[in-house]
């Protein structure tokens, strides 16, 4: 089948779960925690899978896992990503996740990190199609909520088996697929393979979401047109720019760009984000998690280097918040353009 070129930001349906649009946040370990997901949803992201959680439920009592399993105040549908390589453990993790509120289970077969692949999980699974099928069949049969799958185009450029994996997924009852347009060996180097995503989309009848290098409304429209995908996931471009989701959704729906956020709105977004981090993690950890977000918010702002240097070294919530307010109060508006 040939995919229809899509540019609209239409609502997406996965199984019996409906989303308000089709542009979402790609899951990123150490980034897409609950405070960031809630912020992105408020700023237009329709889909926000959780950070991946290990399938070894014996480790779920760790502090890191407890944070990742917290979905308090998160809008429906709650989508939890699990990672592992043993079918029975993956099924148990899926069942436990549903018991804790998950309405969609997302299986990670796309992470290129060595510490994940060295355990034969994440994108390492793409080398073993029989194991892929066993995991998917076991998890799909274990839960009564939709199961989705995140993959790459293959293990390396000589072994691009994304089409076969997609067909296996559909045959196993997976409800939707998201594809990062690179192989595991590529990690984040080079350009995303949108035409490979197009071929994967054409090979199955389930929804396919495209991911990789989407960093502007125009790029989003181009990716939708080239891939024929049913939706998009945005990862690194949302770091420090969470309003990208409303910009992209508006452009896909109307073909026009909306004005960037004002300096005052960016300030308020930053302050609200920091407050949510402190509330979620407690001040000590929240201040330290906030540092990377402050660096990302400053990344494209002229004159922000001195502020960033001070903010990422602040040891208290009060100082981080004060530095943000002072930066916006003391910097001329023309220098704060997003």
- Residue 199: which domain range? 13-254
Beta strand pairing call for 176-180 and 208-211? parallel
Are the beta carbons of 110 and 71 closer than 8 angstroms? no
* Residue 78 within any structural domain of the chain: yes
Averaged pLDDT for residues 81-92: 95
242 and 267 fall within a common domain = no
37 and 154 fall within a common domain = yes
Segment 116-154, tens digit of pLDDT: 544 556 778 888 999 999 999 999 999 999 999 999 998
Count the neighbouring beta carbons within 10 Å of the beta carbon of residue 321: 18
Segment 180-189, tens digit of pLDDT: 998 877 777 7
Report whether pLDDT(319) > 80: yes
* Residue 301 within any structural domain of the chain: yes
Which of these, 26, 11, 3, 15, lies nearest to 175 by C-alpha position? Answer: 15
Averaged pLDDT for residues 84-93: 95
224 and 326 fall within a common domain = no
* Residue 36 within any structural domain of the chain: yes
Point out the domain boundary residue: 254, 271, 297.
Answer: 254
302 and 248 fall within a common domain = no
91 and 161 fall within a common domain = yes
* Residue 100 within any structural domain of the chain: yes
Please state, for a pLDDT cut of 90, what percent of the chain lies above it.
Answer: 77
Report whether pLDDT(18) > 60: yes
What is the C-alpha to C-alpha distance for residues 55 and 120, in angstroms, rounded to an integer? 13
Does residue 172 have an active-site annotation?
Answer: no
Point out the domain boundary residue: 220, 254, 288.
Answer: 254
Q: What is the CATH number of the domain that holds 288?
A: 1.10.1200.80
| Strands (E) located in the chain | 13-14, 17-18, 23-25, 53-54, 79-83, 104-109, 147-152, 176-180, 208-211, 231-234
Residue length, the chain?
A: 338
Point out the domain boundary residue: 195, 225, 254.
Answer: 254
Residue 338 binned pLDDT confidence (cut-offs 50, 70, 90) = very low
Report whether pLDDT(50) > 60: yes
333/285: higher pLDDT? 285
Residue 110 binned pLDDT confidence (cut-offs 50, 70, 90) = confident
100 and 166 fall within a common domain = yes
* Residue 310 within any structural domain of the chain: yes
Report whether pLDDT(113) > 70: no
Segment 250-284, tens digit of pLDDT: 999 999 999 999 989 999 999 999 999 999 999 99
176 and 311 fall within a common domain = no
List the catalytic residue out of 111, 117, 172, 298: 111
270 and 239 fall within a common domain = no
Segment 209-240, tens digit of pLDDT: 999 999 999 999 999 999 999 999 999 999 99
224 and 319 fall within a common domain = no
173 and 278 fall within a common domain = no
Tell me, what's the pLDDT at 337? 53
88 and 113 fall within a common domain = yes
* Residue 248 within any structural domain of the chain: yes
* Residue 133 within any structural domain of the chain: yes
* Residue 198 within any structural domain of the chain: yes
Residue 330 binned pLDDT confidence (cut-offs 50, 70, 90) = confident
Q: 132: helix, coil or strand?
A: helix
Q: What share of the chain is helix, strand, coil (3-state, %, to 5)?
A: 45, 10, 40
Identify the bridge partners of residue 81 per DSSP, sorted by sequence position.
106
Q: In what order do the strands lie in the sheet with 104-109?
A: 23-25, 231-234, 208-211, 176-180, 147-152, 104-109, 79-83, 53-54
pTM: 0.91
Q: Mind spelling out the 3-state secondary structure of 285-298?
A: HHHHHHHHHHHHHH
Q: What is the CATH number of the domain that holds 115?
A: 3.20.20.70
Tell me, what's the pLDDT at 107? 96
Count the neighbouring beta carbons within 10 Å of the beta carbon of residue 199: 17
Mean pLDDT of the chain: 91
Please give the tally of structural domains in the chain.
Answer: 2
What is the C-alpha to C-alpha distance for residues 103 and 296, in angstroms, rounded to an integer? 31
267 and 250 fall within a common domain = no
């Amino acid at each position: 089948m040939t995919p229809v070129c899509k540019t609209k930001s239409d609502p997406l349906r996965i199984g019996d779960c409906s989303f308000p649009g089709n542009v979402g946040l790609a899951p990123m370990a150490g980034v897409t925690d609950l405070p960031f997901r809630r912020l992105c949803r408020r700023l237009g992201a329709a889909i926000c899978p959780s950070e991946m959680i290990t399938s070894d439920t014996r480790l779920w009592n760790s502090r890191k896992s407890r944070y990742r399993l917290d979905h308090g105040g998160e809008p429906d549908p709650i989508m939890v990503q699990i990672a592992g390589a043993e079918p029975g453990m993956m099924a148990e993790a899926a069942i436990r996740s549903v018991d804790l509120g998950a309405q969609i289970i997302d299986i990670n077969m796309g992470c290129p990190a060595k510490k994940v692949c060295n355990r034969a999980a994440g994108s390492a699974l793409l080398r073993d199609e029989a194991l892929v099928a066993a995991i998917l069949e076991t998890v799909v049969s274990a839960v009564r909520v939709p199961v989705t799958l995140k993959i790459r185009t293959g293990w390396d450029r000589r072994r691009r088996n994304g089409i076969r994996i997609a067909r296996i997924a559909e045959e196993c009852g997976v409800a939707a697929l998201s594809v990062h347009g690179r192989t595991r060996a590529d990690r984040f180097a080079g350009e995303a393979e949108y035409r490979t995503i197009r071929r994967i989309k054409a090979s199955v009848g389930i929804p396919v979401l495209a991911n990789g290098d989407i960093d502007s409304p125009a790029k989003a429209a181009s990716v939708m047109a080239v891939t024929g995908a049913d939706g998009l996931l945005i990862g690194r471009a949302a770091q420090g720019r969470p309003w990208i989701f409303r910009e992209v959704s508006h452009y896909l729906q109307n073909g026009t760009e909306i004005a960037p956020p004002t300096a005052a709105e960016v300030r308020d977004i930053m302050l609200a984000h920091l407050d949510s981090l402190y509330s979620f993690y407690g001040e000590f950890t929240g201040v330290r998690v906030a540092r990377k977000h402050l660096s990302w918010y400053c990344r494209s702002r002229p004159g922000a280097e001195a502020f960033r240097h001070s903010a990422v070294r602040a040891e208290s919530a009060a100082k981080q918040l004060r530095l943000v307010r002072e930066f916006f109060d003391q910097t001329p508006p023309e220098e704060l353009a997003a």
